[in-house]
């Protein structure tokens, strides 16, 4: 089974959605995937941050336009993509301990249900070196 590693550092909704699409595609291809949630992305994986205002990485047309376009094509949310992928194939979602602390999550119990644990950056680097495919989003 091929192995994919995703380093997810951006917390913008467009990049979270892109990561979800890539993740679900890898799951459909029966790949094993490890997602390492870093820096800005970690805010969305800490419980209680669900109501934070989403943003785009490059707000060319605005967040409302992007969200409405996703809805108009019946696209799952980024969170639904992640959850679906976890149901289809071995997917682990790890939050970097520093990033979690920045956003108010220092323990696994502080994280949303799809998170498998909190790790140090060395584990991400080792996984990236060992992966067949590595994305940094």
User: For residue range 15-62, what is the model confidence (pLDDT) as tens digits?
Assistant: 999 999 999 999 999 999 999 999 999 999 999 998 888 888 887 778
CA atoms of 43 and 129, how far apart (whole Å): 26
Structure tokens that stand for 84 in this block: 């679906």
State the average pLDDT for the chain: 94
DSSP secondary structure letter of residue 111: B
Instruction: Let me know: does 54 contact 13? Beta carbons within 8 Å.
Output: yes
pLDDT of residue 105: 94
CA atoms of 103 and 97, how far apart (whole Å): 10
Fold of 3-136: Hypothetical Protein Ychn; Chain: A, (3.40.1260)
Length of the chain: 137
Residue with tokens 């909704």: 13
Q: How do the domains of the chain map onto residue ranges?
A: 3-136
Stretch 2-12: mean pLDDT: 96
The per-residue pLDDT for range 70-115, each reduced to its tens digit, is: 999 999 999 999 999 999 999 999 999 999 999 999 999 999 999 9
The pTM (predicted TM-score) of the whole model is 0.92
């Amino acid at each position: 089974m091929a192995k994919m590693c995703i380093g997810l550092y951006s917390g913008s909704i467009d990049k979270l959605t892109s990561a979800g699409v890539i993740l679900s595609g890898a799951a459909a291809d029966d790949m094993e995937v490890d997602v390492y949630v870093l820096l800005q992305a970690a805010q969305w994986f800490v419980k209680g941050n669900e109501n934070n205002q989403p943003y785009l990485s490059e707000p060319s047309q605005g967040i409302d336009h992007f969200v409405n376009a996703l809805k108009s094509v019946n696209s799952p949310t980024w969170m639904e993509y992640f959850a679906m992928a976890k149901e289809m194939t071995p997917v682990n979602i790890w939050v970097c301990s520093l990033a979690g602390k920045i956003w108010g999550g220092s323990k696994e119990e502080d994280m949303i249900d799809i998170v498998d644990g909190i790790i140090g950056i060395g584990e991400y680097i080792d996984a990236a070196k060992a992966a067949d495919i590595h994305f940094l989003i």
